[in-house]
Structure 1
Amino acid sequence: MREAAFIKKNKERWSNFETALKNIKPLVPDELADLYLQVINDLSFSQTYYPKSKTTIYLNDLARKAHFSIYKNKKENSGRIIDFWKYELPFLFRGYQKDLLLSFIIFLVSVAIGFFSVYQNIDFTRIILGDNYVDTTIENIKNGDPAGIYHSSSAIEMFITITLNNIRVGFNAFVSGILTPAVPIALLFYNGVMLGAFDGFFIQHEVGIRANSIIWIHGVFEIFVIVVCGSAGIILGKSVLFPKTFSRLQSIKKGFYDGMKICFSTLPFFICAGFLESFVSRYSTMPLAVAFSIIIVSLCIIVFYYIIYPRQIEKKINQYDSKKEI
């Protein structure tokens, strides 16, 4: 689209948003949020196709004013946090669905490799997970409690240790992208192989259903958000290698900013995973129906927030655009 046509198509919306920011013509919160998301979307488009134009400068300034003007008191700051989780993050996810899919496929392939490697050589599990962990788990299996390791220490100690470790793993998967996408891909691959070997080990010992019913209580959140952090690392790595119409520095800044937001979005889920693993998974003999109910609810939450809801946000924006054009 030519820049003139882009301006003509959207200038009325920009004007409405600027007027609302000045409180000349106040809007209801939902309408203001819609306008804000549209301006952010237009800014991203303008930065891609007209990176050095006055239009990009104007939109960037308009977005900056929004941060300082819309939420300028304590009550509005609370609203800002809600809007960040309710609108900004899902809208950002929608633009990076392909990177999330790539991260998921890499992880899934590596899980399969780890799983089948155990079937080729049972000692592969010891190489990946260590002798002490394997020996302890074998002993638990003999005692009829294959997931007994989850109540081997105090709940609070486990919660702090596990949560911090998971956040570290996720953050490393993101920041490693500065060294090109190959590094977060390698980290995803390694973690996937570990999971596949772990699962294959339990299935070979004929306790797969019971073990998985406990592992995936926390594993749904833990594994999926590591995949999300891996996608953030890929986004950062791509910004280093493929700046497109940006200067390399501009591209890296955008990749880091977007990747950091995506990585930050995983914090509540890492905390939930740590809580479930420390306080719920320790009841490793709970009924299967209870365990699988928790797993299904967790999976629905993750899929909705990272995949379904971003599509709904995009659809809502497109409908708003269509109304404006009529």
Structure 2
Amino acid sequence: MIADLKTFIERERPVWQELERELGRVREGLASLSDLKYSRHLLALYQRASADLARIQGYSAEPELKAYLENLVGTGYAEIHSATRNSRHFKPWHWLTRTFPDTFRRQIWGFNMAVILTFVGAMLGGILVLHGNEGREAIFPSQFGHLVEQTPSQRVAREERPTEFDRMSGHKARFSAELMQNNITVSLRALAFGITFGILTVVLLFYNGVILGAVAVDYVMDGQIVFLFGWLLPHGSIEIPAILVAGQGGLVLGRALIGWGTPHSLRKRLRLITPDLATLAGGAAVMLIWAGIVEAFFSQYHAPVLPYWVKITFGTVELVGLIAFLFLCGRRAPSEPAP
């Protein structure tokens, strides 16, 4: 029994309005019922509105309020009890601009570890290159023999010859597809290697760092810094972070298998991280597709056809944009409840 209907309405109206607002966010795809904490909060709002509807059933003087609550509770029931509907309606733009960066930030520890492993590997690679050809032979696989046989200056001179400008004429699309396939394979391997409790993911990230550091120091020592940045930045500013994101997924998987810091069973740990792993893998793949296109149609052109300052500026803008996207995109206002 309600002693004071007016006071009751004033007290409960904020709850109804919040429920109405959150149901709108769920319908628009701005909130997900797959988040346990959020779904419990929404269910509590729904149950309270249902109880309020039951309490005013005997008041014939408030037909509009009763109709409003009946509609609100009905909508809430439809959304809450059909949560699986949202999983069957994939929204690419929402996934790219909100789900992916949000997942990246939630598992940022894995990315930080991937960066550290790559950086340590790069330091070792740089140190080995300082020992001359013996260090190069110890680092570079046989298919990269030209990195041992030629100095960076010789390679740059070859790349800048006029006869080299159109060497991929008519083959750029195929070359781009090959780059995408190779890079996506390497990245997915870094993620899948998490099944080894993250051990092979650590090895792969470290070795990639060794190669990267060796190449960078080799060019820097030979005075080819401008060429190095002009060559690597356009595609590397996206490709390298993509591999790190894939490695991030592998480390997340490895940690879940080991079970650090959680009382959950192995099955539950894997179930909890599966959406994040799929998102990180998909995000890395999208980044690598873009990097492959840039590498084939932009990075392979050198001065004087394409000035290095243009390539460096382009790569820098890409890197800044990627950082802003990953760390800022999809963030909610302080007053906006988390999904």
TM-score, normalised by the number of residues in structure 2: 0.71
Matched, 1:262 2:280: yes
1:269-295 deviations in Å (ceiling 9; x for gaps): 101110111111121112122011111
Matched, 1:141 2:170: no
The residue aligned with 1:102 is 113
Check 1:319–1:43 CA distance in 2 against 1; reply closer, same or farther (3 A cut): closer
The 3-state SS of whatever aligns with 1:319 is: coil
Matched, 1:16 2:16: no
Check 1:33–1:257 CA distance in 2 against 1; reply closer, same or farther (3 A cut): closer
The residue aligned with 2:5 is none
* Equivalent position to 2:100, from 85, 89, 97: 89
CA distance in 2, matches of 1:278, 1:112: 28
Choose 1 or 2 for highest CA Rg: 2
Shift of 1:152: 5.1
Shift of 1:168: 0.3
Residue pairs, 1:302-321, within 5 angstroms:
302-309=322-329, 312-313=331-332, 316=333, 318-321=334-337
Shift of 1:31: 8.3
> 1:217·1:295 contact (CA, 8 Å) conserved in 2?
yes
* Equivalent position to 1:240, from 246, 257, 260: 257
> 2:242·2:288 contact (CA, 8 Å) conserved in 1?
yes
The residue aligned with 1:176 is 193
The residue aligned with 2:136 is 125
The residue aligned with 2:217 is 200
CA distance in 2, matches of 1:302, 1:189: 23
Shift of 1:144: 6.7
The residue aligned with 2:124 is 113
TM-score, normalised by the number of residues in structure 1: 0.74
The 3-state SS of whatever aligns with 1:321 is: coil
TM-align CA RMSD: 3.4
How many percent of aligned residue pairs carry the same amino acid?
A: 18
* Equivalent position to 2:83, from 48, 62, 66: 66
Matched, 1:278 2:296: yes
The 3-state SS of whatever aligns with 2:212 is: helix
> 1:170·1:226 contact (CA, 8 Å) conserved in 2?
yes
Matched, 1:163 2:180: yes
The residue aligned with 1:227 is 244
Matched, 1:300 2:315: no
Check 1:63–1:91 CA distance in 2 against 1; reply closer, same or farther (3 A cut): farther
> 2:125·2:139 contact (CA, 8 Å) conserved in 1?
no
Q: Which residue identity lines up with residue 40 of structure 1 in the other structure? A: D
CA distance in 2, matches of 1:242, 1:149: 53
CA distance in 2, matches of 1:192, 1:224: 12
Check 1:319–1:219 CA distance in 2 against 1; reply closer, same or farther (3 A cut): same
Q: Which runs of 5+ in 1 are unaligned?
A: 1-11, 21-26, 47-60
Shift of 1:150: 9.3
